[in-house]
Structure 1
Amino acid sequence: MASVVGLLEDRELAARVRVEGLREEADRVLTELAQAERDWQEWLIARQRVDEVLSAPRRSETGVVGPVSVENSCVLKPEVAAEVPSVGAPATGAARAGSIVPVWRPALTVDVLAVDYQQILAALVERRTKEDGVMTCQEITVVLGLELCPASVEGVRSKMQRLADRGWAVEPAPGRFALADGPSWGS
C-alpha cells in the first residue's frame, strides 16, 4: 500500500505538469493574439488611409496643399496634441506602440508597456491617490485628452480590458476599472 505522502506527491506532480502545460499553451495563444491584433491594426490603418485619400478633395479644387481633416473623426484635443510624442519617435526604453501587453509578474515594471497603456495606468494612479481609484472608460478617455466619441471610448475600453485580463488592472464592476493590487507603480 502506498503512503499518503507518496500519493499527495504524485498528485502534486500531476497538477504541476498540467499547470506548466497550460502556461505554455497560454503563451502560445497570447503570441498568436498579438500577431492577430497587429494584423488587424494594420488593416484598419490601411482602410483609414484609403478612406482619407478617397475623401480628400483634389488640390486643384481647393488650392490647399496638405491633409484635409475628415468630419466626425476622433482626434486629440489641441492642448493635449502638443504634449504627445510623434508616432515615429517612441520614448527611449519604452515599448513601441502596438506591442503586446505581457501578463503581469513581479519582475515587470510599467516601462514594458506601450506609451498609451502607461498613460492609462498613470490616470488610474492619479485617481487612486485622489479618490476611490475606480474609473469608467469615458472618464479615462477625457483624462487622456481624447475626444469623447464612441471610437475613442471603445479604444480605451479594449486597452483596459487587455490590462485587466493580464493582471495590470482589475474590473471591480462591469465597465469600471482600477489598478490591480500586485503591480508596483513607483513614484
Structure 2
Amino acid sequence: MGSLFEELEAREVAARRRAEELEAELAELSGRLDLARESLERLRIARETVGEVLAELTSERPAVAVDADGATVGGPVASAYAGAERRVVGVLTVPKWQPGMGPEVLPRVYRDILEVVADAPGPVRAKQIVPRIGLPAETGKIEGTPSKLKRLVERGWLDEDTPGMFTPARRRTAKSPNSR
C-alpha cells in the first residue's frame, strides 16, 4: 500500500505544479490583456478627437444676416473663415460673434450646444447638455463640454452669469442692427 500513497502524492505534486504554471500563464495573459485594452481605449479616444477636429474644420457654411425675428436679411455676410488657409495650427473654429452672424458658421457640435441652451427654460450646466447633443453621459464627454461652453462665452455666443451655468447671449438680441 505504501507505493499507492506515494504514487498519489507524486500525482498531487505534479498537479500542483501544473496549476501553478497555469496561474503564472494566466497572470501574464491578464497583464497583456490589460495593456491591449488600454491601447484600444487610447485609439478610441484619438479617433473621436480627430473626428471632432475634422468636423469642426469642415463646417464652412457662409454666415447669413438675420434680423431680431430670425428672418434672413439680404445676402450672405463675409464668413469668419473667408480667405483663411485650411491649416490645423491656429485655426479659429469658433469665430467671435458679430452682428448678422448666425450659428451656421459654427461647427456642428457648437451649433447643437447653442440649440440646447436656447431651448432650456433657464441656465444649464455642461452635464445637462451632453446627453441632449447626442453624446454618452461619460465623464470624458462631460469634462470636455465646459471648455466648449467657455469658448462660446469668450466669443460672445453664450453668457455665464453664475459659474458653470450657461444662457444664450443677451447682447445679441439687445443690440440694434446699427450699433457697434
Instruction: Specify the TM-score bucket, using the shorter chain as the normaliser.
Output: 0.3 to 0.5
TM-score of the superposed pair, with normalisation by structure 1: 0.46
TM-score of the superposed pair, with normalisation by structure 2: 0.48
Higher share of residues assigned strand:
2
| Structure with max Cα Rg | 2
